[in-house]
Amino acid sequence: MPRTLTDALKAIAANPSAQLIQGGTDLMVEINFNHRKPTDVIALRLVDELKSVQIDTKKSQVTIGAGLPYQQMEHGEIARHLPALAQAARTVGSPQIRSAGSIGGNLGTCSPAGDALPVLSALDATVNLQSAEASRSVSVHDFMVGVKRNARLPGEIIVSTTLPIVSGWQGYAKVGVRNAMVISVASCCLVVNRANGTIAVALGAVGPTIIRCRETESWLASQMNLKINATISPNLLQEFGDRIANESKPIDDHRSTATYRRHAVSVLARRLLTRANSQ
Amino acid sequence: MNPNSEIYNLRVNGKTYEIRDSWVGESLLYVLRERLNLPGTKGACEQGECGSCTVIMDGQAVCSCLVMAATAIDSEIKTVENVSAGDSLTEVQDAFVTEGGVQCGFCTPGLVVAIEHLLSQNSDPSEIEIKEAISGNICRCTGYGRIFEAVDKAVSVRKAKTL
């Protein structure tokens, strides 16, 4: 079992199709239910490099190791610079899950309901990958390619993600069947960049992968001055919600219906926009 | 990791156990119950939702069903069998009995571990902190009221002891 990133990269270079496991909160469910029977496993939980955090205030960015447990993002420096990520981290499962689950796991599984993923999308995060020979950085938008499909190549390990520190308001909200220990039925991350006068809205669990609402974003910027904290008229807020719902692509499944999800995601987005403009 | 033949050691409740002839996909829950004869930890949902398999691993509460046992080498694992010394009950276990926090009892070991873990870090938790700490432990019998009463009782008994 590798204890350094170098050893982990050597192991996956020798066996590029080996199953990677970090916290186990996704993979072990599949194994427990006999949906997957791995023979070759590379466990990353003892690799300390994957739990590092670099806060670079000069470049205004935070790089978070792919294996850092969500528990570590709920408070402290990460929460101060990336409040939406802290909120998303707090909504992940239970304390037991948050001490194991990580952004690397969310990206590796690439479920549209992964709680960190709308935050990564709304912040235009970068995913940093490494193999024994090379390293590369990919925009999170290019990394998430579909339902449980991502752009990681055989032989690569997701090592970290880099997120910008944005001045302005940001928040995350989700709907589930209970308050704790729940997988998203619909989720939303909204980031207002006051310096640029732009807004970013990303939706989770309402499409094959995370959806960025780029049309609604540019429409809203044309309707109001996002550089200042202005009151939003009820009509504008309603149209914003309707446009968000139109950009979502939900389905009926065991967790909810498309109709409910479309409604829920519109409510979440309106709620976040209201909060953004009442601070 | 060689999937079929590797022998590994686990540290559980202060003892070292050698695990032989295991399959790489075995969960820590399975190994505790079926190989180490430690059946106090319960298995129910096997997907991390119910908390009945909660154990302490390196000072963190985790769902043992979601830990690949072979990756828990180097870790210090503590199960419900080890929360009290010998045959005596801890204040938390005793309060579960006296306050009626146990009905069918299936969730109880996980709750005891989660609550002992909470109280080890925060000896006087608020109601919201207690709710947060056991939000990953599902009880379908009690409605949680008696469990919260048991936590309050355990907290006050411990406080009285330390005065």
Q: Which residues contact B24 (CB under 8 A, 6 or more apart)?
A: A38, A39, A41, B1, B3, B4, B68, B70
- What is the identity of the amino acid at A176? G
B91-162 shares the fold of B8-79: no
Return the H-helix or E-strand segment holding A169.
none
Q: Domains in chain A, please, with CATH?
A: 5-164 (3.30.465.10), 170-276 (3.30.390.50)
Over pLDDT 90: what percentage of chain A? 95
Please name the member of B48, B68, B131 whose beta carbon is closest to the beta carbon of A43. Answer: B68
Please state, in angstroms and rounded to a whole number, the distance separating the CA atoms of residues A123 and A85: 10
Looking at beta carbons, which residues of chain A come within 8 Å of B3?
Answer: 38-41
Maximum pairwise Cα distance, chain A: 60
Task: Tell me whether strands B76-78 and B8-12 are parallel, antiparallel or unpaired.
Answer: parallel
pLDDT at B124: 96
- Nearest chain A residue to B53, by CA: A96
Give the closest residue to B158 by CA, choosing from B98, B116, B130, B100.
B116
The pTM score is: 0.95
Please name the member of B4, B48, B138 whose beta carbon is closest to the beta carbon of A97. Answer: B48
**Mean pLDDT, rounded, for B119-124:** 96
**Mean pLDDT, rounded, for A144-171:** 97
Angle at B27 between CA B21 and CA B28, to 5 degrees: 90
| pLDDT higher than 90, residue B42 | yes
Q: Which CATH architecture has domain B8-79?
A: Roll (3.10)
pLDDT at A64: 98
Q: Which ipTM value was assigned to this complex?
A: 0.93
Structure tokens of A176?
Answer: 């589930």
The alpha carbon dihedral of A29, A30, A32, A33 has a sign of positive
Model confidence over A81-93: pLDDT tens digits? 999 999 999 999 9
Q: What is the mean pLDDT of chain A?
A: 96
Model confidence over B50-109: pLDDT tens digits? 999 999 999 999 999 999 999 999 999 999 999 998 889 999 999 999 999 999 999 999
| pLDDT higher than 60, residue B3 | no
Structure tokens of A55?
Answer: 């806060």
| pLDDT higher than 70, residue A279 | no
Please state, in angstroms and rounded to a whole number, the distance separating the CA atoms of residues B131 and B127: 6
| pLDDT higher than 80, residue A29 | yes
Structure confidence at residue B2 as a pLDDT band (50, 70, 90): very low
- Nearest chain B residue to A15, by CA: B1
Return the H-helix or E-strand segment holding B95.
helix B91-98
Please name the member of A1, A94, A99 whose beta carbon is closest to the beta carbon of B1. Answer: A1
**Interface mutation target, options A3, A28, A36, A99, chain B, most CBs of B under 10 Å:** A28
Q: What is the mean pLDDT of chain B?
A: 94
- Starting at the edge strand that comes first in sequence, how are the strands of the sheet with A126-130 ordered? A53-56, A61-65, A157-164, A126-130, A135-139
> By the CB < 8 Å criterion, does B133 face chain A?
yes
- Starting at the edge strand that comes first in sequence, how are the strands of the sheet with A186-193 ordered? A170-175, A186-193, A198-204, A211-212
Domain ranges of chain B: 8-79, 91-162
pLDDT at A230: 86
Q: Which residue has the tokens 């037991």?
A: A96
Please name the member of B3, B48, B135 whose beta carbon is closest to the beta carbon of A40. Answer: B3
Query: Do A99 and B54 lie within an 8 Å CB cutoff?
Result: no
C-alpha distances in Å from residue B136, one per residue of A65, A172, B54, B126 = 25, 21, 9, 17
Among the CATH numbers 3.40.30.10, 3.40.1160.10, 3.20.20.70, 1.10.150.120, which is that of B91-162? Answer: 1.10.150.120
Query: Do A25 and B136 lie within an 8 Å CB cutoff?
Result: no
Return the H-helix or E-strand segment holding B143.
none
Strand partners, B54: B63
- What is the identity of the amino acid at B3? P
Structure confidence at residue A182 as a pLDDT band (50, 70, 90): confident
Please state, in angstroms and rounded to a whole number, the distance separating the CA atoms of residues B93 and A120: 43
Model confidence over B93-114: pLDDT tens digits? 999 999 999 999 999 999 999 9
The secondary structure of residue A59, as a DSSP letter, is: T
Query: How many CB atoms sit inside 10 A of residue A179's CB?
Result: 9
Q: Which residue has the tokens 């995370």?
A: A210
| pLDDT higher than 60, residue B4 | no
SS3 state at B76: strand
C-alpha distances in Å from residue B147, one per residue of A260, B78, B99, B143, B150 = 34, 22, 8, 8, 5
Query: Do A99 and B68 lie within an 8 Å CB cutoff?
Result: no
pLDDT at B5: 54
> By the CB < 8 Å criterion, does B62 face chain A?
yes
Give the closest residue to A93 by CA, choosing from B132, B71, B87.
B132
Please state, in angstroms and rounded to a whole number, the distance separating the CA atoms of residues A129 and A160: 7
Query: Do A100 and B114 lie within an 8 Å CB cutoff?
Result: no
Please state, in angstroms and rounded to a whole number, the distance separating the CA atoms of residues A190 and A170: 6
Please name the member of A38, A100, A180 whose beta carbon is closest to the beta carbon of B25. Answer: A38
- Nearest chain B residue to A42, by CA: B1
Q: What are phi and psi of B123, to 5 degrees?
A: -75, -15
